[in-house]
Amino acid sequence: MLKTKSEAELFETLRSLLRESFRLQSEGSGRARLSQAVGYVDGYVRALIETGVADHATLLAVVRDVRAESRGAATRTIESEADRAVAAA
């Protein structure tokens, strides 16, 4: 019998893969090991998008949160041209 994971479990797996990738990068891990970890993240993200489990905005939020968790908050928020146009109107 095939057991499917809940969305929460899928996103926790993504968080775990991202944490490992960020950890390896901060420790100055070898290129081969880091590339493998990044490849796992990349493939997992692609699978989440292609199966319709997540959209780009949701995935970016997960990456942003895990990055902030491991490296601290971003230094500033960058707005797109569309955001600036809306703010100016």
- Note the pLDDT of residue 5: 82
22 in Cβ contact with 71 (< 8 Å): yes
Question: The pTM is what?
Answer: 0.75
- Note the pLDDT of residue 89: 66
- Note the pLDDT of residue 72: 79
Q: How far is CA 38 from CA 68, 69, 71, 76, in A?
A: 18, 18, 17, 25
- Note the pLDDT of residue 39: 95
Residue whose structure tokens are 């968080």: 15
Half-sphere exposure at residue 87, Cβ-oriented, CA atoms within 13 angstroms: 6
- For the chain, strand residue ranges (E) read none
- Note the pLDDT of residue 21: 95
Which residue positions in the chain have pLDDT lower than 70?
Answer: 1-3, 76, 89
- Note the pLDDT of residue 81: 77
What does the chain come to in residues?
A: 89
- Note the pLDDT of residue 2: 52
Quick one: which of 76, 72, 21 has its CA closest to 43?
Answer: 21
